[in-house]
Amino acid sequence: MRIAAEGRRSVAVAVMAALGGGLLSPLLALAGAAFAAALLWFYRDPERKPPGDPSLWVSPADGKVVEILEAEHPYVGKAVKIGVFMSPLDVHVNRVPASGSVRYLQYVPGRKLMAFNEKASEENERFYVGLETGEGPLLLVQIAGFLARRIVSEVRKGDALQRGERYGMIRLGSKVDVYLPASVRPAVVVGQKVKAGETVIGVVNR
């Protein structure tokens, strides 16, 4: 099982603690092993393979589509926003829907409303990543929720990212919004379960 880079140190420490606890007490060893297993599950990072056709944009997150609506942001202008809610049981690694270059980054501190609250996208702590793609600007928003306590993103302006590539994670789930350019139509419906890097979330208009 592949482990997300952000969690490898925590997993290693938990495994060492479990081994050390085993020298003192079987119960400590059992508790330590259970905690290490929980961390392994939390930081799991399965390989994903996007569809071969580059006109098929993929979901940025595992979870459930909770909203599809018209929205607006200075980086993209008017766009269709798709919100994907990530539960604590979902894979937390986020992936890029389409290939492009990073042109916009912004961190916004905020509240810890439940991620499915309609105000979460505008009031919660969040991190914006804007890419320039062959179809126009694409905006991704990682949104912290009630349980999520850290947004992780290692990208920098100028980075060239490929469709399906990992670009960050949200610890303990929460929500990811994706703003599609006008040339890309949504290919999901509210309530649909999606997988990051595999499920087609948008299709380029021909």
Per the residue annotation, which of 59, 121, 153, 174 is the catalytic one?
174
- DSSP symbols for the chain: --B-GGGHHHHHHHHHHHHHHHTT-HHHHHHHHHHHHHHHHHTB-------S-TTEEE-SSSEEEEEEEEEEETTTEEEEEEEEEE-TTS--EEE-SS-EEEEEEEEE--B---TTSTTHHHHB-EEEEEEEETTEEEEEEEE--SS--EEEE---TT-EE-TT-EEEEEET-EEEEEEE-TTEEE---TT-EE-TTTSEEEEE--
Active site residue 174: yes
Task: Give catalytic residue positions.
Answer: 174
